[in-house]
């Protein structure tokens, strides 16, 4: 730890890593989320350290959802980025003087890297990529399923910078026997019988993919604590269960990882849709992996009232698992006719792709606007939601209601 | 003189700024939103089901009858070794089925 005088000095200059916001805890007043989405109406709006007003899913461990209005743009602000933890307590204090990222297990030379080592001994790499929780939109499953009842805000897109995971593995020297790489963060369950949250990836997957990062920056700033300070794993194109936060240890394994969070959790039916007949169980499962195509309308909000005779500006985002979005379409007649909309700047295949359209309602009344996207492989979204018992990877065609008055 | 001050500022502050060092946050207590509805068994449920996580894990779950809630409680015991005995399982599942049971209307309506 730094000396008090140095800390005080830095604080006074506003240069210290200590987050001023972090010390200001708002009283748990009941500020509620507006009723634009029935699933979210009545949930508290809360402000956590380094975050703006977000929708509370759970307080211990903290889990926070991003309101839909932030998805009118490609980059989700750090302060609005969703928060998802599995076990409690989560880390609340990290001192970079003592923090080390350990790389061990089946390697030639075990490493203990400081933040300075990461920043000076490896080439920098940056990728703009979507982090989406496997259970995003779980609350909309019908029949309903147990688990975090997210609406659609357990996703976000940021520009992640750090170093390539494969460069770090190569520096340590991967032994021939190693098959998987296990990630562990600083979150440690207080209750010893609760399995520590750890995730793994195949060694070959990491060595082949220059986009998998150990990221220590998010949109040009250090990560908020609740998004993984000081460093997190970034696996572009894959669901965020692999994006382990507040990283502390990387272990090369000679045998596949048998940890609960891989063996039993985060698994989908072993078929092309990752789905089963609603209400049934799959006979075989595999770990959840690549993101499916999704698209959303963020503006106007669901249930908006607009005046007749004016064009309404529609805005939103689309994404997929890394092939890139090629087309976004909207429909105002229940999907009979689709109209192609304008795409925004291409920030790479792993990023949110902004889209926008002007829509002029032909007459007064209630309208449903549908949106769907296609990726460069020709994959799209379906009008019938897929279902699985864990409530993973929903990607149905989304819609909002607009009242023209 | 001014130059000396600027120089010593740079020498003293820049290295610290670059390696600036500690991040610390303080989390709020469990939000009252997660508080369980009062009723027979609510205290036991609050106590047992609040050990590892806040009870807002419970209040927004799909509503369910005794069997469905018993399934949730059993999962907590089997998977996470929640310290809850046979008798308590019954009390808790009874409470949850009455406070968060199927009787209360529930919308699954898409937005």
Domains of chain A and any CATH numbers: 4-80 (no CATH), 101-285 (3.90.420.10), 294-404 (2.60.40.650)
As a whole number of angstroms, the distance between CA B22 and CA A395 comes to 40
Interface contact flag, A59 B32, Cβ < 8 Å: no
- Within 10 angstroms of residue A89's Cβ, the number of other Cβ atoms is 15
Contact A144 B26 (CB under 8 A): no
Report the C-alpha gap between A235 and A50 in whole angstroms: 24
Nearest chain B Cα distance for residue A224, angstroms: 9
User: How far is B28 from chain A, CA to nearest CA, in Å?
Assistant: 6
Structure confidence at residue A338 (pLDDT): 98
pLDDT band at A29 (very low <50, low <70, confident <90, very high): low
Phi then psi for residue A64, to 5 deg, are -130, 140
Q: Are strands A63-65 and A398-404 parallel, antiparallel or unpaired?
A: unpaired
Residue A31 banded pLDDT, cuts 50, 70, 90: confident
Mean pLDDT of chain A: 92
Cross-chain residue pair B19–A116, CB shorter than 8 Å: yes
Q: Which residues does chain B have within 8 Å of residue A13's beta carbon, measured at their own beta carbons?
A: 13, 17
Check if A146 contacts B (Cβ < 8 Å): yes
Q: What is the pLDDT along chain B (111 residues), one digit of tens a residue?
A: 455 554 554 455 454 445 558 999 999 999 999 999 999 999 999 999 999 999 999 999 999 999 999 999 999 999 999 999 999 999 999 999 999 998 554 434 334
Report which of A114, A119, A83 is spatially closest to residue A96, judged by C-alpha positions: A114
Nearest C-alpha neighbor of A155 from the set A167, A141, A138:
A138
Structure confidence at residue A216 as a pLDDT band (50, 70, 90): very high
* Mean per-residue pLDDT, A8-32: 43
Distance from CA of B52 to the nearest CA of A (A): 7
pLDDT attached to residue A320: 98
Q: Which of A38-42, A206-210, A371-375 has the lowest average pLDDT?
A: A38-42
Interface test with A, best of B24, B67, B69 (most A CBs within 10 A): B24
- SS3 of residue B71 by DSSP: helix
Looking at residues A375-397, what average pLDDT do you find? 98
Cβ atoms of A216 and A231 closer than 8 Å: yes
Minimum mean pLDDT range among A4-13, A228-237, A338-347? A4-13
Q: Which of B17, B34, B51 sits opposite A59 (nearest CB)?
A: B34
What pLDDT score does A86 carry? 97
Instruction: Give CA–CA dist A45/A260, Å, rounded.
Output: 32
Mean pLDDT to the nearest integer, A33-46: 89
As a whole number, mean pLDDT of residues A281-305 equals 97
Q: Is A218 on the interface with B (CB under 8 A)?
A: no
* Mean pLDDT within A269-298: 97
What pLDDT is stored for residue A32 in this prediction? 84
Mean pLDDT of A162-186: 98
What b/e string do you get for B9-30 counting C-beta neighbours within 10 Å, with b at 16 or more? Answer: eeeebeebeeebbbbbbebbeb
Number of residues assigned to chain B: 111
Q: State the average pLDDT over residues A212-221.
A: 98
Q: Provide mean pLDDT across the span A75-83.
A: 98
CA atoms of B77 and A36, how far apart (whole Å): 38
Q: Are A194 and A244 in contact (CB under 8 A)?
A: no
CB contact under 8 A, A56 and B56: yes
Distance from CA of B81 to the nearest CA of A (A): 6
Residue A176, pLDDT above cutoff 80? yes
- Give pLDDT, residue B20: 58
Using pLDDT thresholds of 50, 70 and 90, give the confidence band for residue A233: very high
Give the DSSP per-residue string, A272-314.
TTS--STT---SSEEE--BPPPEEEEEESPTTEEE-TTSPEEE
Q: How far apart are CA A138 and CA A392, in angstroms?
A: 7
Tell me what percent of chain A is helix, strand and coil, each rounded to the nearest 5.
15, 35, 50
Q: Is the pLDDT of residue A7 over 60?
A: no
For residue B80, which residues of chain A lie inside 8 Å, CB to CB?
A: 191, 193-195
Q: Which residue has the tokens 């259970």?
A: A135
Question: How confident is the model over A349-355, as a mean pLDDT?
Answer: 98
A39 part of contact set with chain B, CB < 8 Å: yes
Q: Are A388 and A284 in contact (CB under 8 A)?
A: no
Q: Which of A215, A218, A214 is nearest to A80 (CA)?
A: A218
What ipTM does the predicted assembly reach? 0.88
Query: Could you write out the three-class secondary structure of A194-250?
Result: CCCCEEEEEHHHHHHCCCCEEEEEECCEECCHHHCCCCEEECCCECHHHCCCCEEEE
Do A150 and A57 contact (CB within 8 A), yes or no?
Answer: yes
Contacts for B10 with CB less than 8 Å, ≥ 6 apart:
none
A330 shares contact with chain B (CB less than 8 Å): no
pLDDT digits (tens, 9 = 90+) for A310-343: 999 999 999 999 999 999 999 999 999 999 999 9
Contact status of A56 with chain B (Cβ, < 8 Å): yes
Q: What is the pTM for the complete model shown? A: 0.91
pLDDT digits (tens, 9 = 90+) for A242-264: 999 999 999 999 999 999 999 99
The answer to whether the Cβ–Cβ distance between B23 and A400 falls below 8 Å is no
> What's the mean pLDDT in A368-378?
98
Contacts of A58 in chain B (CB under 8 A): 34, 53-54, 56-57
Confidence class of residue A308 from pLDDT cuts 50, 70 and 90? very high
């Amino acid at each position: 730890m730094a000396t008090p005088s140095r800390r005080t000095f830095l604080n006074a200059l506003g240069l210290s890593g200590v987050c001023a916001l972090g010390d200001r805890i708002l009283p748990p007043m009941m500020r509620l989320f507006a009723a634009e989405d029935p699933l979210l109406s009545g949930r508290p709006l809360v402000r956590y350290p380094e975050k703006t007003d977000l929708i509370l899913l759970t307080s211990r461990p903290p889990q926070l959802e991003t309101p839909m209005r932030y998805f009118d743009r490609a980059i989700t602000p750090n302060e609005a980025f969703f928060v998802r933890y599995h076990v409690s307590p989560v880390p609340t204090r990290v001192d970079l003087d003592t923090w080390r990222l350990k790389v061990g297990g089946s390697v030639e030379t075990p490493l203990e890297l400081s933040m300075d080592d990461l920043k000076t001994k490896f080439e920098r790499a940056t990728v703009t990529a979507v982090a989406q929780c496997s259970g995003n939109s779980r609350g909309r499953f019908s029949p309903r399923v147990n688990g975090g009842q997210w609406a659609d805000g357990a996703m976000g897109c940021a520009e992640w910078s750090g170093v390539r995971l494969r460069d770090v593995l190569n520096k340590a020297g991967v032994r021939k026997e190693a098959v998987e790489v296990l990630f562990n963060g600083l979150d440690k369950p207080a209750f010893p019988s609760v399995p520590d949250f750890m995730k793994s990836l195949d060694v070959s997957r990491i060595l082949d993919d220059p986009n998998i990062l150990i990221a220590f920056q998010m949109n040009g700033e250090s990560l908020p604590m609740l998004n993984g300070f000081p460093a997190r794993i970034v696996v572009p194109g894959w669901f965020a269960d692999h994006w382990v936060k507040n990283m502390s240890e990387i272990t090369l394994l000679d045998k596949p990882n048998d940890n609960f969070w891989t063996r039993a959790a985060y698994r989908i039916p072993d078929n092309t849709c990752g789905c089963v007949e609603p209400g049934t169980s799959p006979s075989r499962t595999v770990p959840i992996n690549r993101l499916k195509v999704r698209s959303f309308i963020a503006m106007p909000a669901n249930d908006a009232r607009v005046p007749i005779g004016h064009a309404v500006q529609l805005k939103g985002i689309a994404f997929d698992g890394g092939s890139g979005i090629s087309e976004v379409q909207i429909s105002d007649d229940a999907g009979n006719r689709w109209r192609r909309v304008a795409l925004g700047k291409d920030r790479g295949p792993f990023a949110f792709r902004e889209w926008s359209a002007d829509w002029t309602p032909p007459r007064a009344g209630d309208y449903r606007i549908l949106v769907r996207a296609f990726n460069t492989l020709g994959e799209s979204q379906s009008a019938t939601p897929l279902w699985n018992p864990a409530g993973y990877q929903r990607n149905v065609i989304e819609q909002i209601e607009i009242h023209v008055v | 003189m001014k130059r000396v001050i600027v120089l010593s500022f740079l020498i003293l502050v820049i290295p610290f700024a670059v390696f600036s060092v500690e991040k610390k946050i303080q989390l709020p207590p469990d939000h009252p939103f997660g508080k369980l509805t009062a009723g027979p068994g609510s205290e036991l449920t609050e106590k047992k089901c609040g050990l590892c996580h806040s009870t807002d894990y419970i209040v927004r779950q799909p509503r369910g009858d005794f069997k469905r809630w018993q399934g949730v409680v059993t999962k907590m015991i089997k998977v996470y070794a929640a310290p809850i005995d046979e008798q308590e399982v019954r009390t808790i599942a009874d409470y949850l089925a009455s406070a968060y049971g199927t009787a209360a209307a529930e919308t699954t309506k898409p937005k």
